Every structure is written in C-alpha cells, then in structure tokens.
Amino acid sequence: MEKEKSQAKQLKEKLFMDKKHGMLQISDEEAVKADVFCDGYKDFLNRAKTEREAVTYAVRAAQAHGFTEYDRTKTYQAGDRVYVVNRHKAVMLAVIGKNGTKNGVRLGIAHIDSPRLDLKPNPLYESNDLALFKTHYYGGIKKYQWPTVPLALHGVVAMKDGSVIDVCIGEEEGDPCLVVTDLLPHLAVEQMSQVMTKAFTGEHLNVLVGSRPFNRDEESENVKLHILHILFEKYGMTEEDFLSADLTMVPAFKAKDVGLDRSMIGSYGHDDRVCAYPALMAAMDVKAPESTVITVLTDREEIGSDGNTGMKSTYLADFIADLAQADGMALRHVMAKSTCLSADVNAAFDPTYASAFEANNSCYLNKGAVITKYTGSGGKYSTSDASAEYMAQIRNLLDKNAVLWQTGELGKVDGGGGGTIAKFVANWNADVVDLGVPVLSMHAPFEIVSKLDVYATYRALYVFYAD
Ligand code: MN
Ligand code: MN
C-alpha cells in the first residue's frame, strides 16, 4: 500500500503540471532581487504616469546606457544601440544583433498609455460659483471608481507660436489636487437603485478645479476667470489654448507597497507600465544578441491601437524596414522570421470575484510571468492565437533559464474579453504571444501586482532577448 502510494506520487510528479507558489520555486536571493528591482519600478511609476512621461524616462535611461538616436544613413555594427521616438508618445529601442535582421528580429512590445480622464477640448466652465473641467475618459474604466479620488493634471499645451508647455499639478508635496465629486448617500436613493452604467456616466466625470472668484467685482463667471488667471500666470495660456493641448487627469497618489508582508505593489497605471519597465530594463541589459532586439513602448493600446503612435500605425514596420534595407533584406522576409513577446498584463484570479474566472485556466499572483496564448472574446474573435510550435519554443526558453511562469486565459469563456497588440504583430506574419504580469483590480485607479511576477517578467524578456 505504502509502495503503491509512492509510485503514484512519483508518476504524478512526472505527469502532472504543478505550478506552485513562486516562493516555493525560487531562492531567497532571487526574492531579494525581485524586491530591489521593484524599487526601481516604483520610481518609474511615480515619474511616468502618461505616455509622454514614460518616453522621457525611457530616453534618459537609454542615453545613460549608450543608446543614440537612430540615423538611417549610418551603418551600425553588432552591439550598437539606437532609439527612435515617435511624436513624444512612443519609443523604439534597438540593440543590433550579430546577424542583424537576417534571421528576423526579436520584438518586445509593451504599452505606456493607461486608462484616465482626458480634458475635453473646451473643458473649463463655471456652475453655481464652482469651476469645473469637463472630461472625456480614455480607455475602459468603471466610472464609479473615479469620483472622490485625488487627481493630478498632467500633459502639454502647444501654443500657436510653436512652443510646448509641460503641465504637471498635483504630484509635488504641497501641490493642490483636483477631484470628481460624488453624491452623498443620504440623497443617493435614486442613484443607488440605478444600474452602474446609468448611475455613473461620462458626463458625471466633471473635475472640481476652483471655488473663489477672481476679485470682488460682480462679474459673471468670476470663479472661472480666477482659474484662467492662475493658469495664465503659471503657463501663459488662455482658454483657447486648451484647444491645442493633451491634458489628462490621473490619480495623484504614489505607488505603495501593499500587504503586511510588502509582497505586492499598488499603483495607478500598472497596465501596462508593469511590462514596459521590465521590457525597458531588459533592453538596457542585453549586450550583443544574435538577432537584432527591438523594444517598443507604444501608445494607444487602451483604445484599440488606432492613431499614428499606436500599433496599427506603420511606425514600427517602417523602422524594421530601414534596418532590413541596411542588411539587404526585404521587410516581409524579416517579418516572417521574427518573433515577438507582446508584453501585456492579464487578470489575476481574485477570490472575491471567483465566479468571473475559470480556476484551471487563470493566472495567479506570485506564480510568475503569465503567458496568454490568446485573448479576444466569444469564439476566439479578434485575437491572434499563438501556434503550438511557438508556445513550445517559449516555454522551453523560460524553463531552460529557470524563469517563473504560468499560463492564463482572460476570465471565463463567455465572461467578456479583451485584446492586446499581439494580433497586429501577427498580422505582419511574425510569431507572437502575450507575456506579462497578473493584475488585480485591472484598470482601477489603484491596481495591484506581485513583486515576484514583475521581476519574472523582466527575466522572461531578458532571456528572450539574450537567447
Ligand atoms: Mn494592457
Ligand atoms: Mn488595459
């Protein structure tokens, strides 16, 4: 009996897939490395709340690591490091490989835009002696989560004379914050009986920006005038200058350790900075790879990748075409041999909302980087589906390098769905699969990730680049 049991146990070990808690799979040393890596990540989160700020951070890091701006008239050697910025909102970082583009390129692509409240083109108004901003939300948000959260104003105002003014209010100690109001429970009988999509609409997301008049003249709209005067004094802008601005409201708080054991990080914008930072660090650390490695921090993913800085734009393919031409290659031949990790998050299993998930095919906090074979919705609509062969190649790579990893689908089959940039890369006839960090409360103002998973995602991208 005893012997039979042990045989079964042995066979189980051989045949069953066993994805244990990450702490049971790695050394204490590795866990410490993960914590240290995440200190850098938290700094990035606090400095890069918008795509423009993430690009600025990435370019600074790249320059400090020997990257120079790409010049297509120059000849590059293996180990050379170049970057290209697209309209301040997306950046590509390439490390030239020994074989250049001849055997395809290795792509790591993460996005640096996150759900938020953009200001409308004509945002400022006064009502009942209060000044407010009208907003237009960007990306998929649950609107009820945004009222009563301290918000900061980030972005740029482009002036007619060609100058561009950086705006950031609410991040420095002592800065004021802005906020969307909500109705008190005492008077919310009607609101609370409504379905959520009716109770909180886009037109409810008005940001309170002021309440005192400019002076004691009995002029109309004196509170609005006061706010415009403050903006004029600080930035030299007038109301019409809002028309040529990219201004957005993001949560004003900083990234924080979560849990009494400090095992997690809570922050705005983990999706997808939690993959962008590991991809950027992997790009900094890779030396002279076999094939050229290209890391892309892209914009516009949260709204479907449309626009000249999103992955439906030709900007990445055009860059690869330039690199290919230098090697005497055609873009299509490079693409056909290229491989990509689409570095994006997946929804971590949440025991409080267990019914939204299918436990056998969900990803979990602390089990490592999650490989998502396909996303989409319904009958696998709107998704690429990584081939069995490419999945085998990636899991072999990760196992060989002792990277913590797991797989996951996005929730229950008919529970909803979502997508990443993977399908656009697949449409260029490259091999691609999603790999990234499991997230709790995804798209909320304060999202949660595990430190082990962030570090595992860095390691996955690094070995993919260096292999
Ligand atoms: Mn994402
Ligand atoms: Mn997202």
Query: Which residues have CB less than 5 Å away from ligand 2 (the ion)?
Result: 271
Measured in Å, residue 35 CA sits from the centre of ligand 2 at 24
Both tokens of 110, joined, read: 């993460």
444, pLDDT greater than 80: yes
Is residue 169 within 8 A of residue 235, CB to CB? The reply is no
Measured in Å, residue 272 CA sits from the centre of ligand 1 at 5
pLDDT score recorded for residue 5: 80
Measured in Å, residue 448 CA sits from the centre of ligand 2 at 13
Measured in Å, residue 36 CA sits from the centre of ligand 1 at 24
Measured in Å, residue 270 CA sits from the centre of ligand 2 at 9
Give the closest ligand to the alpha carbon of residue 345. Answer: 1
Count CB-CB contacts under 10 A for residue 145.
16
Measured in Å, residue 442 CA sits from the centre of ligand 1 at 9
Count CB-CB contacts under 10 A for residue 38.
26
Give the closest ligand to the alpha carbon of residue 437. Answer: 1
> CA gyration radius for the chain?
24
Measured in Å, residue 14 CA sits from the centre of ligand 2 at 37
pLDDT score recorded for residue 2: 53
For 47: left if phi > 0, alpha if psi spans -120 to 50, otherwise beta; the answer is: alpha
Measured in Å, residue 346 CA sits from the centre of ligand 1 at 8
Alpha helices, DSSP H, located in 48-138: 51-64
Please write the tens of the pLDDT for every residue from 212-254. Answer: 999 888 889 999 999 999 999 999 999 999 999 999 999 999 9
Question: Average pLDDT of 403-429?
Answer: 96
pLDDT score recorded for residue 18: 82
Please write the tens of the pLDDT for every residue from 282-341. Answer: 999 999 899 999 999 999 999 999 999 999 999 999 999 999 999 999 999 999 999 999
Measured in Å, residue 442 CA sits from the centre of ligand 2 at 7
Give the closest ligand to the alpha carbon of residue 114. Answer: 2
Query: Which residues have CB less than 5 Å away from ligand 1 (the ion)?
Result: 271-272, 344
Measured in Å, residue 346 CA sits from the centre of ligand 2 at 9
Measured in Å, residue 301 CA sits from the centre of ligand 1 at 7
For 231: left if phi > 0, alpha if psi spans -120 to 50, otherwise beta; the answer is: alpha
Q: Which residue has the higher pLDDT, 177 or 4?
A: 177
Cα angle value 162/163/165 (rounded, 5°): 140
pLDDT score recorded for residue 145: 98
Please write the tens of the pLDDT for every residue from 128-158. Answer: 999 999 999 999 999 999 999 999 999 999 9
Measured in Å, residue 263 CA sits from the centre of ligand 1 at 22
pLDDT score recorded for residue 3: 60
Q: Environment class of residue 342 by beta-carbon count within 10 Å: exposed (0-12), middle (13-18) or buried (19+)? A: buried
Measured in Å, residue 414 CA sits from the centre of ligand 2 at 19
Please write the tens of the pLDDT for every residue from 166-201. Answer: 999 999 999 999 999 999 999 999 999 999 999 999
CA 248/CA 290 separation, integer angstroms: 41
Please write the tens of the pLDDT for every residue from 93-113. Answer: 999 999 999 999 999 999 999
Please write the tens of the pLDDT for every residue from 343-386. Answer: 999 999 999 999 999 999 999 999 999 999 999 999 999 999 99
pTM here is: 0.97
pLDDT score recorded for residue 4: 66
CA 291/CA 78 separation, integer angstroms: 9
Give the closest ligand to the alpha carbon of residue 447. Answer: 2
